[in-house]
Structure 1
């Protein structure tokens, strides 16, 4: 089983840092004031959001295990049968025309599989990742 971590863009890192800082800054007044029922709600919501963001940053990766491509981004995960992959497209840019985007960079790969399904991923070593997929399924077209 090979594990590929997601590439992280500087822009997205900045967005995550600012978001985490804002969440913490919004929670501090609730902790310093006399704790009331409303502040408990704020603390719980902010803590859950913070945990979600941190888990996405720390645990976005792709695993190739036999003929299955497994992806995980925080608590979200899925798998793709590599034999069903038809095409891999290199993509750069902010707009990504897919529903699933378990990636931390705007430079990545759009994988087309099954009949109409797509997913956007951004492994650090894209060439090695693609080579391993093609080794399992030589019919994959790379654009």
Structure 2
């Protein structure tokens, strides 16, 4: 009986599962999609904040109080960066993984500071960001295969 060898992994196949947890590989793909969605929502939050100051409720004495227009610009710029990095993750770009962790960590911090304006959505965005960071940090197969 002839032995069959498993198919070799293509160089650009970042989500292959030879010796890798399928959850982690799927998690990276899902993290890329979530980054795109989070980025688009950030862009929309930014546009609303810039275009119309009275959409978001005014906050009393909050330590991190900014003008809503300033928050709008912050969310708009971060949303654009999230979309670009999310697309890079879906393409399997090497730079996108580390950049994604850093940008999503910044997004978590900004959503924490944004909590008084939209508390429920802020908490949901923080939870999504934590999942994205987990997914990008647990799937290290691509990093290990380049070092061996």
Q: TM-score, normalised by structure 1?
A: 0.35
Q: Which has the higher helix share?
A: 2
Structure of greater relative contact order (alpha carbons < 8 Å, 6+ residues apart)? 2
Q: TM-score, normalised by structure 2?
A: 0.34
